[in-house]
Structures are given as C-alpha cells and as structure tokens.
Chain A
Amino acid sequence: MKPPLVLVPAFNEAARIGRVLAGVRAAVPDAILLVVDDGSADDTAAVARAAGARVVRLPFNLGAGVAAQTGYKLAVREGYDCVVQLDADGQHEPADIPALLAVIAHDEADVAIGSRFLDGANTYRPGLLRRAGMGLFRWLAWLLTGMRFSDVTSGFRALGGDVVRFVATEWYPTDYADADVLITLRRAGFRLREVPVRMYPRTGGLSMHAGLRPVYYVFKMLLSVALAPLRREPAQRKGA
C-alpha cells in the first residue's frame, strides 16, 4: 500500500506554509507532501520545496477548489489510495491528520471530515455573523443530504481512493467548494464521517471567506438546493 498523500493547496502563504509542512512531516513521517501553488506571487513554491514537499505550480490563480482538484488529479495518476487535504495557512492542526487517516484506513467511511465543533475542548470561536452563516449552511446541507454536519465549512479532510477518483472528474464543484463538496459526495453515494479536530484562527493574511463571498456562497448553496433534485446523478459512483 502506498503512503498517504498530504495535499496542501496554497496561495501566497510563504510566511506560514513552512511551519504547516514541518507539522505535517512530524505528524505523518511516511506521507508524501504535495503543495499545489495556486499561482502565488511570493516564495510559496520555494519555501514548500525547501520543506521537502513536491510542488505543482498552476500558471495563474484559479481558486482553492481548482488547486485542490489539481492535487487529486495527480493522486489518481500516481495511484494514491488516500489523500489528506489541509489548508496552508496554519488553521488546521497537522497533529490531527492520523485521526482522519485512521477512519479511511479502517474503512469506517469514504470521507473523513475534520470538524472543529464535534469536540467540546475546542478553542475556535467564530464571530456572530460567521456563526449565523455556518448555521444556514448546516441547515442547507441537512436539507440536501439528510445528514447532520457539525462543520460544513471545513477544508480539512481525508479521502479514500474511490472518492479521489471521483473528485478528479468534472463532477467536483471546483468553484468555491467546501459545503458543496459534502453535498456532491453524499449524493454520489459516499459514506461521510466527521472527526473532531483542532482549528485555529488565522494568524494573518486574507481569509477566503471575506467580503461579498459569503453572499455568493449562500446563493450558490441555494441554487444547489433548488437544482439538486433535477440534476442527473453523478455518473461515477463509488465502486463504479
């Protein structure tokens, strides 16, 4: 069995990614590190290489979803059975990677999602507006999948081989993903399971949930809710 692939999509994270990669290296020493540089203008790629990661560099900025999918495409081509994805900005705790991997390794689920709210001992406290937004997404995700997720905006997850092959296709919603990914995977028939993880507030830089984007996100979710029953089901199901 191949070692797991740890996928870190990164955009202008030269200041933070080195520490993240060192943390991953310490938590899962046998993992292959892959950084997908989403057209950064800074030294993200060089810092990542120096930290011992393989680097795939997109020619221009295409967004977090596309960067992640690039990594999944590489994983499919090179035959990885398990991919962990985490953010490059240090919000996700690398020490929690083994907990996500264990779910996949024991075949308890096809997708393990890191949730910052499952565990009571969590330090993450979002603001009121963000909490309201998360509540709305949770409700929409429940409406669409019948599953109660505690954390629908988590980008910290581990995927098994079938799911990796699925997200490398056009069915993967690359346009501002997170919650949409949960819904798409659930509707494709994959088993999802949440795992408690630690998350930290950003130490700097620009959150991708800034400005008008949450509004667009809500719009996109509502559109998904409306269209999901009318859409053809994803062609490539688990095991297909």
Chain B
Amino acid sequence: MAELTLHQTMFALVISLVAFLFVLELVRRRRLLEEYSWLWLLTAGAMVLLAVWYRLLIVITHIVGAVTPLNTLLLCAVLFLFAIAVHYSVIISRLSTQVKNLAQELALLSSRVDEPRS
C-alpha cells in the first residue's frame, strides 16, 4: 500500500495534535475532570501515533484482514464511540445511585428538622 505524502502526513498530524491539545486544555482549565479525560487522550494519542507512523496502520490493517487502511480507521472509530458511550453509561449509573442516595438522605434529614417533636 502506498505511503502518505508529506502533505497528507502534515495535515493528519496537525488535526491529531489539535485534538490532543484541546483535551489537555480542557483538563488544564478544569472543564474536564482527569477521571473522564483518559479515554479521549488515549484516542487523540492514537490519532497522533497513526499520523506519524502510517506503517502501523497498514500492519493493523493486515492483522484484522481489512481491505484498505480506511476500513481499519472506520472500525477503530466505531469501537471508540462504543467504548465512550458505555463509559458514559457506567458513569451515569453511578451518578444516578449517588443522586438517589443523596435525595433519600436529604428527605430523612429534613424530616427530622421539620418535625422536632418526633
């Protein structure tokens, strides 16, 4: 399979680096908690790696048996989106349990405040 031209490599690298730095910047400004950033950083890091090391994508393409590197990229993108969606579901489940427990705690405590005779 053909190598990327310098033009193509530069473009892919710039896009990937922007994505990586954008996530880092969100973490730096505390807009995104470290806890939730790792999956995004991993993805942006993989983008950078594939941009500078195109042979790796070709090797992976051979391993998974895909016809073109584009198929491999598409597969990776779908898998990543699946992973991040499940990741969010897990986080939402945990938050729901915490909200439930907080609401119960609030209800029990405020019932004691409202009814001092009991």
Q: Contact residues of A with B, CB < 8 Å?
A: 36, 54-60, 62, 66, 69-70, 73-74, 77, 170, 174
Contacts and interface: CB of A to CB of B under 8 A. Distances in A.
A75 to B, nearest CB: 11
Nearest to A170: B97
Contact of A174 (B100, B107, B108): B100
A59 B106 contact: yes
8 contacts: A55-B111, A56-B111, A59-B106, A62-B103, A69-B104, A70-B107, A73-B108, A174-B100
Given A66-B100, A66-B103, 20 more contacts: A36-B107, A54-B115, A54-B118, A55-B111, A56-B107, A56-B111, A57-B107, A57-B110, A57-B111, A58-B107, A59-B106, A59-B107, A60-B103, A69-B104, A70-B104, A70-B107, A70-B108, A74-B111, A170-B97, A174-B100
Contacts of B106: 59
Nearest to B110: A57
Contacts of A60: 103
Contacts of B104: 58, 66, 69-70, 73
Which residue, of B97, B106, B108, has the highest number of chain A Cβ atoms within 10 A? B108
Grouping DSSP codes into helix (H, G, I), strand (E, B) and loop, the B interface class, with mixed when no group exceeds half, is helix
Interface in B81-118: 97, 100, 103-104, 106-108, 110-111, 115, 118
Contacts of B100: 62, 66, 174
A77 B118 CA distance: 13
The bracket for how many chain B residues form the interface is 10 to 19
A174 B101 CA distance: 11
Which residue, of A58, A60, A69, A77, has the highest number of chain B Cβ atoms within 10 A? A58
Contacts of A62: 100, 103
B103 A56 contact: no
A36 B106 CA distance: 13
Nearest to A63: B100
B108 A56 contact: yes
Given A66-B100, A174-B100, A54 B107 contact: no
A73 B110 CA distance: 14
A54 B111 CA distance: 8
Contacts of B118: 54
B36 to A, nearest CB: 23
Contacts of A73: 104, 108
Task: Please give me the 5 A-B residue pairs with the lowest Cβ-Cβ distance, nearest first.
Answer: A56-B111, A70-B104, A58-B107, A56-B107, A59-B103
Contact of A58 (B97, B103, B115): B103
B94 to A, nearest CB: 11
Interface in B48-76: none
Interface in B16-71: none
A152 B108 CA distance: 29
Contacts of A59: 103, 106-107
A66 B104 CA distance: 8
A70 B111 CA distance: 12
Given A54-B115, A54-B118, A170-B97, A74 B103 contact: no
A106 B99 CA distance: 38
